[in-house]
Amino acid sequence: MSDLEQTCASLRAQIAATEEQLAGLKRELQIAEEAAAKSKAQAVADDEAASGRRWPLLDEEYRRYGRQMIVPQLGIQGQLKLRSAKVLIVGAGGLGCPAALYLAGAGVGTLGLVDGDAVESSNLHRQVLHRTKNVGKLKVDSAIEYLQELNSHPKYIAHREHLSPEAAPDIFSNYDLILDCTDNPATRYLISDTAVLLGKPLVSASALRTEGQLMVLNNPPRPTGDKTGGPCYRCVFPKPPPANTVTSCADGGILGPVVGTMGVLQALEAIKVLTAEETNTPIPPSLHIFSAYSTPLFRTIKLRSRRPNCAVCSAEASVTVDTVRSGSTDYVFFCGTADPENLLLPEERITPLEYRTKHGGGEEKEPTIIDVREKVQFDICSLENSVNIPMSTILASTFSLPTNEDSSADELPALPSWVPSDVASSQSTDPVYVVCRLGNDSQIAVKKLKELGLDREGQRVVADIRGGFRAWKEQIDPEWPEY
């Protein structure tokens, strides 16, 4: 055993050393890329100066951008503004890919991308900069590879990391405009706070299932306490949504054209902000809501100006660059975390392998398996003889305890209609197992079933299958569809 422990310790040390070396190589690569980009830009400037050019753009740029330069709202002056602009895109996923694609195509001079994730095959139906051959590659590298093929004129800067409070101010300071293309509340508040504190306009969007939202925030970017500035994310959403109500694309699903539409609109709003003429009349802030299966497709809601008690952009601001950078503004704590792993006791959970060992012999009656995924997921794949009761149905239901006057001692509470009859029967003590996609919703459902008294005060096993169908695939059925 000691030899194995030494081997494990040695491997951990090697991994730590390799990770440290990799981090160093990434830093060196970023420095080299920035130096190469500066060298390229200087070479172009030197060539233009040496040639004594009469026109501000290269011949190839006139040909490339001509169709947009003849649009009256843009013109040559707008194109020159785009050429000198520096835009940071936080997130190289479903929103960031189309936004980067169109900003690069439009000729934005510098595009920075922040993302620490690698490309997965599940990304490819909507994240249009990534290709099958780049699965496993860092998203920022995959995206920049495509963008350079599209347009070699812009300077592309890769920030190969997840945005952190410590790094955000330093990264943002080098850009003129920020695009929030992320998918979690904590990062959204971090991006908005940092943009406001550094005086950067922000284009924020989100998308889930068939719907999306878009806002241009902190536009115009005014100092803290200046009421003429555009509202920030905290002005619109002073309090984050409860952590257990936040649904990701992985859990809720997303149609590619929906998130693509929102990303393209982010690029459009970015171009409008970058090329806008200076005016004393700011554009009224608005929230644009897109719904793919509604008529009309878009609705627009006017937003109020800055909140007088906003923690970031008002005269009473408590959030500063120092509180962000130091971590004293704790975004994870502010937004909360949903941690369903601790909802149930160990004896209330069973692994797929344990379930198969206990109930796979066929000598006894099969237990009831309740699948709490939504029907659209249940239709993709399901266990034989399982019962589909969507989690949304369970959460929307109510029940009442019987009173002493109108019930006997052996009666159960008035059960919701979704409870299967064999489970509801007061004579049954057959086990009930709940399963979902990842093993999160199933724990909530188990607690709900026990609140209904269906565990018969401990006489019946009511448990969840730990890890859901992802664990089922790993432990029981390798051919189980992964979606």
Query: The tokens 């998918």 sit on which residue?
Result: 183
Q: Pick the catalytic residue: 97, 181, 335, 436?
A: 436
Token pair of 49, please?
């100066």
CA distances from 11 to 2, 3, 110 (A): 14, 12, 41
CB 189 within 8 A of CB 234: yes
Note if 335 is an active site residue: no
Q: Annotated binding site, which residues?
A: 94, 115, 122-126, 139, 183-184, 232, 235, 310, 313
Task: DSSP for 121-184, please give it.
Answer: GGGTTT-TT--GGGTTSBHHHHHHHHHHHH-SSSEEEEE-S---TTTHHHHHTT-SEEEE----
Note if 436 is an active site residue: yes
Q: Annotated binding site for ATP, which residues?
A: 94, 115, 122-126, 139, 183-184
Q: Pick the catalytic residue: 181, 249, 335, 381?
A: 249
Give 461's contacts (C-beta < 8 A, 6+ positions apart).
367, 431, 432, 433, 455
Q: Of 31, 375, 321, which Cα lies nearest the Cα of 193? A: 321
Give 326's contacts (C-beta < 8 A, 6+ positions apart).
none
The rounded distance, in Å, linking the Cα atoms of 263 and 205 is 7
- For residue 75, report the phi and psi dihedrals to the nearest 5 degrees: 70, 180
The rounded distance, in Å, linking the Cα atoms of 303 and 235 is 9
Token pair of 2, please?
């000691």
CB 191 within 8 A of CB 178: yes
Catalytic residue annotation: 249, 436
